[in-house]
Amino acid sequence: MGWERVIGQHRVKELLRRVISSGTIAHAHLFWGGEGVGKDAMAIEFARALNCLENKLEPCGTCASCRKIDLLQHPNLDLVFALPIGKNEQSGDDPVGSLSEDQLNSVKEQLRLKAENPYHRIEVPKANFIKINSVRNVRREAALSAFEGGKRVFIISNAEEMNAEASNSLLKTLEEPSSDSIFILTTAQKEQLLPTIISRCQLLQFDPLSEEELQEALISRNGVEKNQAALIARLAHGSYTSALELLSVDMVEQRQEAVQFLRLLLGAHKIPLAQEIERIAGLGDRSAVERWMKLLGVWLRDALVLREQGEEGLLNLDHLKDLTSFNQKFPRAKLAQALERVEASIALVGKNGYLPLVVTGLAIDLKRSLAS
């Protein structure tokens, strides 16, 4: 039953199994990789394995210790994350002791969501960084013995959010490790950590999740229909967290917008096309523009699949009529070239390219490729 809450990451799971089996566990680990690939989930699972009362290699998932860790309520587990500064909070105070009732309720709700879904990113209002009082509390707790013969595990989630004081305080703690304590730092931005902190950690890189792994997780964990799961997996860029966010997006409407853009692009009326380009570039949110481009790319990819091998493998199967009509009207469209231009434009969005220029350039390139 062990490690089942973590999607994929088989290489990392095997490495951690070997570490546990060897009995030589480093006192500090750095789990790094993209957002939403399972770093926190793996850290919690690692803590569960180190404290399981039945089996130290594969946590049983049913003993009292495993159940407490699943709820993030085990005395051997401390989850550290960004918190707001409490009213009149002083240096050395309990990091949550001075928080207001509303702030405490927000923290409790975020922990509940994290226990329910270890891929949930904790976000507390007005919490901009991991404060030094949180790290000082870790230092105090790390000096205490572990309960029930296990290991004290301190998970510092999104460790790049530590301010300078907190980073230096953690460095001192890592330099004087306790035999009962294990520190796990997770981050998607390793370069923002102090080099001296990185040098004291055992590094484990996490890979982006495959489309197959994301699709299976969406179907089995979230009850998503197969075709929708396949489409979301294609757009999620290897991140389960991004895939969950896409579930709340009106994919039907946004796909239709991509198709409408192609209709305007290949039509005779220039003013509506110019207005649509202005609308897309004016979305402001780069992630929204990138998502629109990916949906456009997936639709063009389906047109190519349909032309080359038929209906099997289509992600937009409900658009079969439109895809067939497109291929009949534009049999000489250079679809592979069009897909390359979409990918190039997505890269420019990611590099902070000027959105009106990027979207306009994409429209020109697609016109040349599709209407040849």
Q: Show me where the domains of the chain are located.
A: 10-205, 209-248, 250-370
Q: Which fold has domain 10-205?
A: Rossmann fold (3.40.50)
CA–CA separation, 321 and 324 (whole Å)? 5
Output helix, strand, coil percentages for the chain, rounded to the nearest 5: 55, 5, 35
Q: What is the mean pLDDT of each run of 10 residues along the chain (372 residues)?
A: 83 90 87 92 92 80 88 91 82 79 90 91 87 88 77 92 88 81 92 90 93 92 86 84 79 78 84 86 77 85 86 75 87 90 87 86 89 73
CA distance 304 to 301: 5
Q: Which amino acid is at 362?
A: L
What is the model's pLDDT at position 227? Answer: 80
Evaluate whether 363 touches 338 at the Cβ level (below 8 Å).
no
Model confidence, pTM: 0.76
CATH code linked to domain 250-370: 1.20.120
pLDDT attached to residue 249: 66
Task: Tell me what pLDDT residue 310 has.
Answer: 83
